[in-house]
Amino acid sequence: MILVIVAAGSGKRLRKEIPKCLNEINGIALIEHLKPFMKKFKKVIIVTGFKGKLIRQKLKNEKNIFFVKNSKFKKSNMVFSLFCAKKLIPRNNDIVISYSDIIFDPKIYSTLKKYDFTFMPLKTNWLKVWKKRMPVNKIRSDAENLITKNDKIISIGGKILNTYPKYQFMGLMKIKYKEFIFMHKIFKLIKKINIDFTNFINLLIKQFSFVLYYKKTNVRWFEIDTYRDLKVIKKRGLKSL
């Protein structure tokens, strides 16, 4: 498997003078917290954008890391960044996608490796995590709706309208190479370079019969999107996640 970490964003709700993934927890940049996970892969591709040289400098001593720049990071989004890595992915290799602003237990790797199909690991006790991150009355506007049926995801993204979903997207996904190529084909077809990841996946499911499985997990996980998130994790510590 090849790991692709998408790290092109500036993080508008965090410090704007550095890439989002370089904000620190206990003196260690967010992307450095992913090192134990990175080391499980023979090849890691990091897609940079905003001040990408700073990320390269931070990880300059790490082996098997390759960098590619999303030169259109100002007007594109996560999906465009993902496909910037396409030229560096060897044929017939499965791809694991990871956001760069998440911290999680690297043992999730065993789940990603175990199943030989395209799927998302989904967080089970996600509401408990969100309650640490923000007031309850803001959760519905921040978390995304997610509907499953049997062992498949049938809808992802958009507002939570009624009851909370059972699971939540973690910013991780495993994709078989053949389906990665199909996804790229559809992305070029729709011509929306600024489409976000969950809306793109939802479009694939709804309009192009894309089959996406899921596996539920309760591994330690946290997303850092705001100053509040940073404060929470600094106060509680990584072991409390």
pLDDT tens digits, one per residue of 96-155 = 999 999 999 999 999 999 999 999 999 999 999 999 999 999 999 899 999 999 999 999
- 5-16: per-residue pLDDT in tens? 999 988 777 766
Per residue in 29-49, pLDDT (tens digit) is: 999 999 999 999 999 999 999
pTM attached to this predicted model: 0.95
CATH topology for 2-240? Spore Coat Polysaccharide Biosynthesis Protein SpsA; Chain A (3.90.550)
Mean local confidence (pLDDT), 166-177: 97
| 179: number of Cβ within 10 Å | 18
Structure confidence at residue 162 (pLDDT): 85
pLDDT of 239 above 70: no
- Count of CB atoms situated within 10 Å of the CB of 54: 16
Query: In DSSP terms, which residues pair with 3 in a beta bridge?
Result: 44, 96
Structure tokens at 145: 């709706």
- Return the structure tokens found at 236: 């509680």
Residue extents of the structural domains in the chain: 2-240
